[in-house]
Structure 1
Amino acid sequence: MASFVPDKVFDCHAHLWRGDAYAAPLPPGFPADMNSDDYLRLTGEVFPNRTLGAWFLPKPVVKRRDQALRVSEWVGESLAGKPTCRGAFLVKPEDDPEWVREHARRLGLRGLKCYHTFSLRKPTLNAEIPEYLPEAVMQVAHEEGWYVTLHMVKDRAVADPGNQHWIRTYCERYPDMKLILAHSARGFQPSHNFEGLPKLADLPNLYFDSSANCEPMAHVAIMRIFGHDRFMFGTDFGAASHSHGRHCSVADTFFWVYDDAPVWEERHTTIKPVSIVLEHLRSVKWACWAERLTDRQIEDVFWGNAARLFEL
Structure 2
Amino acid sequence: MSASSRATDIDREFFNRELDSFLPDRIFDAHTHLWKQECVSWSIPGVPNVGRDEYTTLIGDLHGPRQTEALFIPFASENKCDKVRLANQWVADSISDSSDSRGLYFITPKDDPEHVREQVEKLGLHGLKCYHSMASVNPTWEASIPDFLPEPFLEVANQESWCITLHMVKTRAVADPDNLHWIRQYCESYPNMKLILAHSARGFQPAHNLDGLEKLKGLDNLFFDTSANCEPIAHQAIMRIIGHDRLMYGSDLPVSHWRGRSLGVADTFLWLYEDTPVWDEKHRLIQPLLIGLEHLQSVKMACWSERLTDSQVEDIFWNNAAGLFGVTS
| Shared fold per TM-score greater than 0.5 | yes
Q: CA deviation at 1:267?
A: 2.5
1:217-232 equivalences under 5 Å are: 217-232=233-248
Match of residue 116 from structure 2: 100
Q: In structure 1, which of residues 161, 185, 189 is the aligned counterpart of residue 205 of structure 2?
A: 189
Matched-pair contact (CA < 8 Å) for 1:52–1:84 = no
Structure 1 counterpart of 2:35, from 7, 17, 27: 17
Map 1:143-222 to 2 at 5 A: 143-222=159-238
Equivalent position amino acid for 1:195 in 2: D
Measure the CA separation in 1 of the matches of 2:226 and 2:64.
20
- The alignment status of 1:300 with 2:318, answered yes or no, reads no
User: Cα RMSD (Å) of the superposition?
Assistant: 1.0
- Paired-residue identity, %: 54
| Distance in 2, Cα, partners of 1:226 & 1:21 | 36
What is the CA-CA distance between 1:62 and the residue it aligns to? 5.4
CA contact (8 A) 2:196 2:222 kept: yes
Which of 47, 53, 57 in structure 1 is aligned with 2:69? 53
Aligned partner of residue 14 in structure 1, secondary structure: strand
Q: Please, which moves more after superposition, 115-124 or 41-50?
A: 41-50
Q: Find the counterpart in structure 2 of residue 7 from structure 1.
A: 25
- How many aligned positions are there? 309
The letter for the 2-side match of 1:10 is: F
- Alignment partner of 1:286 is 2:304: no
* CA deviations over 1:142-175 (Å, ceiling 9, x no partner): 0000010000000000000000000001000000
Return the alpha-carbon distance in structure 2 between the equivalents of residues 60 and 296 of structure 1.
Answer: 37
Q: CA separation in 2, counterparts of 1:220 and 1:130?
A: 28
More divergent stretch after superposition (198-207 vs 257-266): 257-266
Aligned partner letter, 2:64: P
TM-score by structure 1 length? 0.97
- CA distance in 2 between counterparts of 1:72 and 1:62 reads 15
Taking the aligned partners of 2:302 and 2:281, their CA distance within structure 1 comes to 29
8 Å CA contact 1:171–1:206 kept in 2: the answer is yes
Query: Could you list the per-position Cα deviations for residues 258-296 of structure 1 after superposition, in whole angstroms to 9, with x for gaps in the alignment?
Result: 111111113221111101000000000000000100001
Instruction: Provide, for residues 205-254 of structure 1, a one-character-per-residue CA deviation record: whole Å limited to 9, x for no partner.
Output: 0000000000000001000011110000001111x111110111111111
CA contact (8 A) 1:60 1:114 kept: no
**Letter of the aligned partner of 2:258 in structure 1?**
S
What is the match of residue 44 of structure 2?
27
Secondary structure at 1:143's aligned position in 2? helix
State the AA in 1 paired with 2:139: P
Q: Secondary structure at the match of 2:39?
A: coil
Taking the aligned partners of 2:202 and 2:177, their CA distance within structure 1 comes to 15
Gaps of 5+ in 2: 1-18
- What CA distance in whole angstroms lies between the structure 1 residues aligned with 2:94 and 2:148? 25
Q: Give, in angstroms, the shift of residue 27 of structure 1.
A: 2.1
TM-score, with structure 2 as normaliser: 0.92
CA distance in 1, matches of 2:80, 2:225: 28
User: 1: CA distance between counterparts of 2:107 and 2:282?
Assistant: 45
Aligned residue runs from structure 1 range 232-251, under 5 A: 232-238=248-254, 240-251=255-266
1:60–1:115 contact (8 Å) kept in structure 2:
no
Q: How does 1:247-262 map to 2 (within 5 A)?
A: 247-262=262-277
2:40, 2:80 within 8 Å by CA — same for their partners in 1?
A: no
Whole-angstrom distance in 2 between the partners of 1:109 and 1:56: 10
- List gaps (5 residues or longer) in structure 1: none
2:56 to 10, 19, 40: 40
